[in-house]
Structure 1
Amino acid sequence: MDRRKFIRGVATGAAGFGAASSLAAPALAQSNPKLQWRCVSSFPNSLPALFGASEYISNYVKEMTDGAFTIQPFAAGEIVPGGQVLDAVQSGTVEMGHTASYYYVGKDPAFAFGTTVPFMLNARQQNAWFYRGGGNELLDAFFEKHGVFARPAGNTGAQMGGWYRNEINSLADMKGLKMRIAGLAGQVMAKLGVVPQQIPAGDIYAALEKGTLDAVEFVGPFDDEKLGFVKVAPYYYYPAWWEGGAATHAMITLDRWNELPKPYQAVVKAACEAANGHMLATYDWENPKAIKSLVGKGAQLRPFSQEIMQASFRASQEVMKDIAGKNATFKTLYDSQTAFRGESFLWEQLAEYNFDTFMMIQQRSGAI
């Protein structure tokens, strides 16, 4: 469907889309300024699902504004390193960035809630919390203090637990393990004896190959195959209990956002929401093919043992409780997600879980 024709057809009657009447073309292009923004990404352009989100947003905004508002995406390293996207947006070096907010837990651990927290929500639950559970509003107040406006702009779904040079059969095997891992999961892993490292995507393979790292987690099959980890660390564990539904965000310098005409703000919000769904659909489509390909290349699939899972859960609870006791914003966000998590898993164990389980049994038996 042509988005511009759609807007022309529904702008006068769409009450649910903020300022919809002002989006009618050509009025939008005539009454609002021509703007050119830059968007820096935390991700290399070799990862089309992750970097592709900024491209998707750019194309959406350009199309919806008849080219009056353009956003040029830049991959990690082209303007700033991937780990400095928030800094670039805060300083006004660029107007916009696309990143995972948990990369910045060193600034404030509450940044984790924009992406994911260990043993918390899956992708659908994360979106429910953002859009219906007050999550976006709680994060708005937090992000505003850091000089940015942000919206969810992609989700990977549940991730894999990473690549290991050697098998991890027990907690004893975790001791001294040098592992690339992001967000608060590094603090949890440290309680298990792991030595966490945070390394940009482009540098991970070399560190793993040289033995500087013993293990690495990134996302899942679609991205991991492109990064080539299977060549040097064949044991592929699951699940990533620290990333049940990892979200990315589009971040905009707060002053630039406040100056943006209301119709353009509406377009950007719609573009981010569309990108959010598009990324998850991409991973759901590509991961089944990629996991088969990786197994064909020698990947050895392994589940984390229940000993490791239970110990990780206990360590996670300790870390979360400790941070919440020191950080009021973190506690507010954690309490909100925790309350929803209990209600949501109570529901999900009924229809969704039982349908999925039955269909997986049929798949394993060869019936489908």
Structure 2
Amino acid sequence: MDRRQFIRQAGVVAGGAVAGTGLAAPAIAQEAPTLRWRMTSSFPNTLDTLFGSSRLFSEIVSKLTDGKFTIDVFPAGELVPGLQALDATQDGTVEAAHTVLYYYVGKDPTFAIGSSIPFGLNARQQNAWLYNGGGNEAINEFLTSYGVRAYPGGNTGTQMGGWFRKEINSLNDLQGLKMRIAGIAGQVLAPLGVVAQQLAGGDVYPALERGTLDATEFVGPYDDEKLGFYQVAPYYYYPAFWEAGPTVHYMFNQAKYDELPDSYKAALENAAAVCNTRMLADYDVKNMRAIRSLVGKGVQLRPLPRDVLDAALASSQDLYAKLSASNPKWKAMYDPWSQFRTQIYEWFRVAEYTNDTYNYSQQAAGK
């Protein structure tokens, strides 16, 4: 039998087998449903890295499903206010949301652990906990009672401590300071004299301009420059000890998610993982350039005073102990997270810290 005859006969047999089982290729493709979801974002579309990540997510999901599963993305305020993304997903107003879990600490402080808590994990450590340290499983178990589930979908890296209208030279300068700050960091700073407020990104600049806010934290140089904070608050402090590696999540209505075929669930998970990697890389490059631009505009870079850091650390440890004693859900997630933090800090001190410290010191010395 020559090669051409073999191929012809094999094609007939294969075609007959497919026809006999009723599994012709077009029939398989037709089994995938055509779906259109809506996703609300907690971010305005002016923040191209944060909001742009949700657009990338939608594009990837569409490509992975041959265009059969499309997700329309809406910026904060277009469907619902930015800080109501969880509620809208929970009640089925939308099928999905792009948000940060610590926005919802008013419902339960445990939300914050899934994103970032003061003196927590940096971006690499956070991803290690989420993907390989039981973090994703713990978060979704916690979210069960809210009727949603979530996948990590981005990280900004360590953020800046924020913009201040006046200098902060010591702990005493925090007394009565009105500051926009997210998550449970406000509860940590309250005993230090800070009056914490939580506002959506688009509302911060007007509040600073009017003087109803004395300070704000948001993300880092790239987004902060776009929002213009430097025009009304010239002092830029670092670091944001409350956000060493905050995770942004894609959140889905659990009932709608359960209706999806496995291939579509896989598309959501894999699209989120791509966005998780891309966002951090984007911010590292954009912040690198934006910090130079801001300094060139006269922004005054300042480190947070040591007594502020020490007092905030003590306040956070006191808060975590109280929450562990009073909130079983917090304790169930915090205890293993804390153990993971201790162990990964030990490892990072051995290799990462020593390598980085030497290299940065030599670069600063002009070598």
1:172 maps to 172
Give the residue type in structure 2 aligned to 1:234: P
1:10 maps to none
2:187 maps to 187
**Could you tell which deviates more after superposition, 358-367 or 244-253?**
358-367
Give the residue type in structure 2 aligned to 1:359: N
CA shift digits 1:53-100 (9 cap, x unpaired): 211110000111110100011100111110100010001000000000
d(CA) in 1 for partners of 2:81, 2:118 = 26
d(CA) in 2 for partners of 1:67, 1:113 = 35
Q: 1:326 to 1:360 in 2, by over 3 A?
A: same
Q: Which has the larger radius of gyration?
A: 2
Query: Is 1:283–2:259 an aligned residue pair?
Result: no
SS at match of 1:44: coil
Q: 1:311 to 1:263 in 2, by over 3 A?
A: same
SS at match of 1:331: helix
**Could you tell which deviates more after superposition, 80-89 or 355-364?**
355-364
Structure 2: 5+ residue stretches without partners: 1-24
Q: In the TM superposition, what is the alpha-carbon distance from 1:360 to its structure 2 partner?
A: 1.0
1:271 maps to 271
SS at match of 2:326: coil
Structure 1: 5+ residue stretches without partners: 1-24
2:244 maps to 244
Q: In the TM superposition, what is the alpha-carbon distance from 1:305 to its structure 2 partner?
A: 1.2
Q: In the TM superposition, what is the alpha-carbon distance from 1:306 to its structure 2 partner?
A: 1.0
Query: Is 1:321–2:321 an aligned residue pair?
Result: yes
Instruction: List aligned pairs for 1:333-344, cutoff 5 A.
Output: 333-344=333-344
2:119 maps to 119
d(CA) in 2 for partners of 1:229, 1:335 = 37
Give the residue type in structure 1 aligned to 2:345: F
d(CA) in 1 for partners of 2:290, 2:325 = 42
CA shift digits 1:97-128 (9 cap, x unpaired): 00001000001111111211111111111110
CA shift digits 1:293-327 (9 cap, x unpaired): 01111110100111110000000001111111111
8 Å CA contact retained: 2:171, 2:305: no
d(CA) in 1 for partners of 2:40, 2:122 = 27
d(CA) in 1 for partners of 2:219, 2:257 = 30
Q: 1:241 to 1:29 in 2, by over 3 A?
A: farther
Q: 1:30 to 1:347 in 2, by over 3 A?
A: same
CA shift digits 1:120-155 (9 cap, x unpaired): 111111110000000111111111111101111111
d(CA) in 1 for partners of 2:28, 2:189 = 51
Instruction: List aligned pairs for 1:90-105, cutoff 5 A.
Output: 90-105=90-105
SS at match of 2:144: helix
d(CA) in 2 for partners of 1:333, 1:347 = 22
d(CA) in 2 for partners of 1:178, 1:27 = 62
Give the residue type in structure 1 aligned to 2:347: W
Instruction: List aligned pairs for 1:1-368, cutoff 5 A.
Output: 29-367=29-367
Paired residues, what number? 343
d(CA) in 2 for partners of 1:327, 1:272 = 30
CA shift digits 1:13-46 (9 cap, x unpaired): xxxxxxxxxxxx9787432100000110000011
d(CA) in 1 for partners of 2:202, 2:245 = 23
2:14 maps to none
8 Å CA contact retained: 1:28, 1:263: no
d(CA) in 1 for partners of 2:27, 2:173 = 64
2:20 maps to none
d(CA) in 1 for partners of 2:317, 2:141 = 25
SS at match of 2:120: coil
d(CA) in 1 for partners of 2:215, 2:27 = 54
Q: In the TM superposition, what is the alpha-carbon distance from 1:350 to its structure 2 partner?
A: 1.7
SS at match of 1:325: helix
d(CA) in 1 for partners of 2:179, 2:280 = 26
CA shift digits 1:180-238 (9 cap, x unpaired): 00110000110101000111100100000110000000000010000000001011001
**Could you tell which deviates more after superposition, 358-367 or 204-213?**
358-367
